[in-house]
Structure 1
């Protein structure tokens, strides 16, 4: 009834908090918090996750957040991300600094007059980052913390990490990527955080085997996921400790130039329920994969990158012992051949995802075996595979009816016949990405448009033989949301117009380097694709300000626009994009095409092409 507050009168706090927790978007939650003071307080109570960028006076910023959001369980601090403070927030931080100094008997260093002038604190906002004191404040303010990510926080050390670990004993997930944490800090986590399940140590140059061994001794029994990369002083000794104590480990990701067989053999033999194994270790040999095949029967995902010392022998063991394997990636494995791939295909018939990248000794025979035996295959990626020919994809198209995604890059021996076979046999195909496969032309893509009605994501980059006829067929048969045809020189207005008329749900479009594309296509896109959010027009010589105007007028959801090296787009066209797109977040353009007025109005979202390199 009008004039009656039925919600606040009848609904208890607990029910309103539960409603807030079920809201998916931050925008929706923020809108609800503006209804009244009660809702503002309850919404703050319902917040469980905070993300913090490279915030000036980060330590004090953490204190402010902890006072407002008391039930936070997940904090993500990433100092690669920049944020801009509202003036009001800067003033709050300045006032808090002043209070602290007055308590210590010092005069405040800056004066805030009317909430708009700030001298010293504005410089601090730009220069400070999270420190050990900030970690202590995190521990004091968020004692219920379960997940913490500290990404490239260069000023934190073992002292701060120990202080946080003492206070946050319910910590379950810790990411220290790029932090110069010492062994003492990691040992403290093992001592106090007995429930830790996920640990990421990537680019932590200050760590040695001693720190990881101490952590494993303290909380190894609970650890389920471990990631180590570019830690030169972590080697076989710590992996032996992992194998001995981490009996619940399910995921191991390891990137190391110094790791030998000894440590990984201990992991394979000791971590019997391992499900995910991602390795980039140039010195590891077949002995490790043989142990994996014998001991890790629960393995579901295996990624092998840049291996120079293992051969088909290791894959034969995996194929024989890891019957549950679903996802396999082979990248730059020089000595793996068709025999190894065939062993995986015949032994691991539940395989759903396969990626082969730069393995130059793998050819058609191995992929034919995959087609014959891996009938549940849903995603296939062949990158830089010069020896794989049409016959392989003919077999895939014939047998793998569940295939949903196909990625091809620089596969010079694959042509129209292969893609036609995929189109006719794999009617559930949703994603097709092809780059620099010069034997694939209109006939292949026409077949895709005719048979693959579920296709939503199509990328044809620098495929010289694909033209307008192909896109006309796709526009008539598919409802795309993503399309990339950059560098396909035969595509012009007719093909893009067909897409605009047939794909009203299109949200991403890359038509860069299309020399024959003009304003008519832009006008049709504006009329037919109101959901368009991202468009790349770079190096399109025929598009003018008029075409941009037509596009912008009917695409209110546009968020990003790249238009460098478009000689017929002027500063007027750039201004039109800025004024006509209220949701715009990024514009990439030459600096000479941005007027002073446009710069003042939208300087924060404009990026310039760097020409000074």
Structure 2
């Protein structure tokens, strides 16, 4: 009742702010802010982070945000993320006899004239500009973290204006922005507290701009990344090495960087902990120095190296005793001897990923199993020479393993999975794709022994059937995510077992399963009320009735993919849209969407195929 709000009037602002800090998600905070104007004002006052996708009139949008959220310190702009606009409301009817021409259209008609129509979607072709950066600098002078991802209309002029006012900047990500040397030099001149800098795909930069920035931020810079910048060479890295003594992380993706630049950074930056390189002209000679000097190195990722062999990997194993995270991707000249050296020397290893290294086989991974007991994550992708005995050794020696990824590993089958499941009972995430020798026995062992499992994916493993999912449903009651896409032997029995045994399920992908029908969807609705994401594309026996039974119970559903389901019609699509108040995305054929559904939920509809 009005005038009876005694509790809210007595709450001090500090306590209300504490309430907002304890809320675990943005939607929850947004909902709480609607209690009253006071709570709304305090929530805006307390917000520190903004995430912005591509939107119409971005310059005006940034100005509006600066007025509403004055204490924001982190802003992330990513123009790869599109924002759909709702279709415009019909124009207001003019009263008979009225001579006021302005009444013939809605108040926002002038804005909509700037929009272009394509079907039922309205978008404006625009991008963040220098004017927006100036508005951002004026509205958020205390900003500390700024990401501008693929903002092509931002230039040195805007960056220079921002750097002049935002002197507290600590992290700057300019991925895909066409900024030049002048803007980068201004950042170095004014932003003396900058710690993290990402210059991936920043065309137009040269050594001159990078060197100016490095000289200005030398006392604070801890992380530096460059990719696909043809005019950034070893000269920049030599300056980094000479001045940035606090540097801890280096990311390089360039064919213009050679041993000289990498060696200079390694020798000059004694605190280096993370090194990610995709440099075709860097050789074993550079990694010999890494092994000799980088005693603090914890993360090493090497991608597509053409001149890196076991010699370099042996140097890493010999010297980098603190290495915890190793990624080897498309390093064709590394074999088991190099991985054995890593196993013997880097006993603190907790994560290893081997991707497309075709000369690494069973013997190398067996050495990891024998020597690295702290391993918690293992990823093997396109490793054709690794066999079952390798995972037997992993199961025997790596009892702390929690995450396992297997993709296109033809030599790994059920016996390997049984050994992993028996030995690594703390497994929480198992992701398997196109491993055709893994079938029911392996998945049954996971269901029987891995009681803490929360994520299971067995995509396109055509030997996995219902009996495997029955075991998972009985043993893994904590399961939250399941993906059995393309496992054509799985039908109603298996998915029903999951529905009855896994009440915490939130994500389910049963696409391309031809034996799934409406009864299964009804059981999912009864047993898995927390379901948020559902993919049932290419399920030919699912109908509107099954969808109706599902959404009547799964009120938290946020995404639903149902393309190429011939028995689902516009009625089913309308049922999903109208019944699920949290729905954010529906993927469907355009021909199955009625005009009413387009008007009602145009912003959440995505189409696999559009009319030409």
TM-score (norm 2): 0.93
CA contact (8 A) 2:86 2:602 kept: no
**1:119-130 superposed matches below 5 A:** 119=111, 122-123=114-115, 126-130=124-128
Instruction: Tell me: CA distance 1:469–1:86, structure 2 relative to 1, closer, same or farther (3 Å).
Output: closer
Quick one: distance in 2 between partners of 1:366 and 1:547?
Answer: 50
Aligned partners of 1:394, 1:467: CA distance in 2, in Å? 24
Residue 451 (structure 2) aligned to one of 434, 450, 453: 453
1:191 to 189, 192, 205: 189
1:568 aligns with 567
Contact 1:87–1:115 (CA<8 Å) still a contact in 2?
no
Q: Which runs of 5+ in 1 are unaligned?
A: 89-109
Give, in whole Å, the separation in 1 of the partners of 2:264 and 2:360: 30
Measured after TM superposition, the shift of residue 16 of structure 1 is 3.1
Q: CA deviation at 1:554?
A: 1.2
Structure 1 counterpart of 2:138, from 137, 140, 146: 140
User: What's the Cα RMSD here?
Assistant: 2.2
Instruction: Note the alpha carbon deviations across 1:382-419, whole angstroms, 9 max, x for none.
Output: 11010000110011111111011111111111111110
- Partners of 1:172 and 1:320 in 2: CA distance: 35
Where in structure 2 are there 5+ consecutive unaligned residues?
Answer: 89-101, 117-122
Cα distance 1:64–1:578, how it changes in 2: closer, same or farther (>3 A)?
closer
Query: How far apart in 1 are the matches of 2:40 and 2:462?
Result: 57
CA distance in 1, matches of 2:35, 2:542: 46
| Structure 1 residues 13 and 363, CA gap change in structure 2 (3 angstroms) | same
Structure 1 length-normalised TM: 0.93
User: Counterpart of 1:64?
Assistant: 64
The alpha carbon displacement at 1:11 in A equals: 3.8
- Give the 3 Å change call, closer, same or farther, for CA 60–232 of structure 1 in structure 2: same
| Structure 1 position 43 matched with structure 2 position 35 | no
1:512 Cα deviation (Å)?
1.0
CA contact (8 A) 2:590 2:609 kept: no
The alpha-carbon deviation at position 114 of structure 1 amounts to: 6.4
Tell me the CA shift for residue 515 of structure 1. 1.3
Structure 1 residues 294 and 112, CA gap change in structure 2 (3 angstroms): farther
- The residue aligned with 2:255 is 257
Q: Give the drift of 1:82.
A: 2.9
- The 1:524/1:33 distance shift into structure 2, 3 A limit, reads closer
Deviations 1:9-59 (A, max 9, x none): 444434433433443332333334333333333222212122222233322
Q: Find the aligned partners of 2:522 and 2:115 in 1 and give their Cα distance.
A: 47
Per-residue deviation, residues 453-474 of structure 1 (Å, max 9, x unmatched): 1111110011111111111011
State the secondary structure of the residue aligned to 1:491: coil
Structure 1 residues 121, 192: closer, same or farther in 2, change over 3 A? farther
Equivalent pair of 1:87/1:116 in contact (CA under 8 Å)? no
Asked if 2 retains the 8 angstrom alpha-carbon contact of 1:470 and 1:495, the reply is yes
| Corresponding residue number in structure 1 for 2:96 | none
Which secondary structure state, in structure 1, belongs to the residue aligned with residue 513 of structure 2?
coil
Match runs of 1:319-468 below 5 Å: 319-468=317-466
SS of 2:17's partner is helix
Question: 1:120-167: per-residue Cα shift (whole Å, max 9, x none)?
Answer: 774498243322222122111111111111111111111111111111
C-alpha contact 1:146 1:173 (8 A) present in aligned 2: yes
**Cα 1:40/1:485, change in 2 over 3 Å:** closer
Distance 1:64-1:576 versus aligned 2 partners, 3 A rule = closer
The aligned residue for residue 20 of structure 2 is 20
Aligned to 2:153: 155
- 2 CA distance for matches of 1:587 and 1:148? 32
**Superposed, which structure 2 residues align to 1:271-282 within 5 Å?**
271-282=269-280
User: 1:358-379 CA distances to partner (integer Å, 9 max, x unpaired)?
Assistant: 0010000000100000001111
SS in 2 for 1:136: helix
Structure 2 matches for 1:242-321, cutoff 5 A?
Answer: 242-321=240-319
Equivalence for 1:498: 497
Following the alignment from structure 2 to structure 1, what is the Cα–Cα distance between the partners of residues 62 and 153?
A: 15
In the alignment, is residue 116 of structure 1 matched against residue 111 of structure 2?
Answer: no
